[in-house]
Amino acid sequence: MEDGKNLVVLTHGGAGSDPAHADGTAIAGQLCMMDLQTGVPTIDAACQAVATLEDDGRFNAGIGSHKRSDDSVQMDASCMDSSGTFGAVATLEGFKNPVHVARIVSQSEYKMLAGRGANEFAANQDCQTLSPDQLKGSGADFSATDTVGCVVRSGDEFACALSTGGIDQAIPGRVGDVPLIGCGLYAGPEGAVAATGDGEAIAMQVTALRVYQLIEQGMDPKAIVPTVIGWFKETTAFGIIVVSKTGFAGGANRGMAWTASEMMV
Ligand code: ASP
């Protein structure tokens, strides 16, 4: 690696998650930072952080995914990097790390796979399955949202990844912002953005792309975060993490477990 490369990792456990669970986002961030230090591509490092959060069990993703109104568990996940790689899955069922499936989609001829086709694709790729007894996300003390996300910088390269079980008790087939490019996430040569909260509201604001445009206009992430939180009603759960060449920031209009770390190598 060349001297003076700036490494930055931000991880979140979702708008509405318990800030006391920031130990989980910190561990995911540390593993991601170690990946970056050893030269793992930014998108794989971001996906690895999100997979760690999917395996935590306290967040609404992976083994912590909330149930739908019919008791099914359907998960959405996505990843993107500044070289234009993007992949996503929607309403995936029965796989432990949807973000890994999204990453494999990003390496295929497709950008997003949903439902039965996504399940068949994941099965054909030998992705690790998830049995009903591994699920931990049905407890009544869970917040309605709590998805997980990561944004990463390694020098001039950026990436982001997201994963969610969706909104608690939503009907089967409901898809939020997470797999929608420019809504839940966006990465480009100037930075990376990952949103969390009410997926319908986030999608209707085309949130992540518009945040990225603020970065392109030269706005600092520390100013962007409160500005973007202001786009949403206080009753609408919303949170965001942002990294650019000028800095990084995160925040939400309610509690959120999130952590950030920076290192020069
Ligand atoms: N945005 C996710 C969704 O609507 C939920 C969340 O962020 O907690 O599916």
Q: Is 239 in the pocket of ligand 1 (CB under 6 A)?
A: no
Active site residues per annotation: 147
Residues forming beta bridges with residue 252, ordered by sequence position: 239
> What is the chain's pLDDT, residue by residue, as a tens digit (265 residues)?
456 899 999 999 999 999 999 999 999 999 999 999 999 999 999 999 999 999 999 999 999 998 999 999 999 999 999 999 999 999 999 999 999 999 999 999 999 999 999 999 999 999 999 988 888 765 545 555 578 999 999 999 999 999 999 887 899 999 999 999 999 999 999 999 999 999 999 999 999 999 999 999 999 999 999 999 999 999 999 999 999 999 999 999 999 999 999 999 9
pLDDT score for 140: 47
- With a 6 A CB cut-off, is 145 part of the ligand 1 pocket? yes
Confidence (pLDDT) at 1? 47
Q: What is the pTM of this model?
A: 0.96
> 76, 54, 199, 215: which is closest to 136 by C-alpha?
54
* 51-80: pLDDT as tens digits: 999 999 999 999 999 899 999 999 999 999
The best mutation among 145, 150, 229, 232 to test binding of ligand 1, ranked by most ligand atoms within 8 Å of the C-beta, falls on 145
Query: Which residue's CA lies nearest to atom 4 of ligand 1?
Result: 199
Task: Classify domain 6-15+21-251 by CATH number.
Answer: 3.60.20.30
- Whole-angstrom distance, CA of residue 2 vs CA of residue 89: 35
Asked whether 29 lines ligand 1 (CB < 6 A), one says no
CA-nearest of 153, 181, 154, 152 to 85 is 181
Return the ligand 1 atom nearest residue 197 CA.
Answer: 7
> Structural domain boundaries of the chain?
6-15+21-251
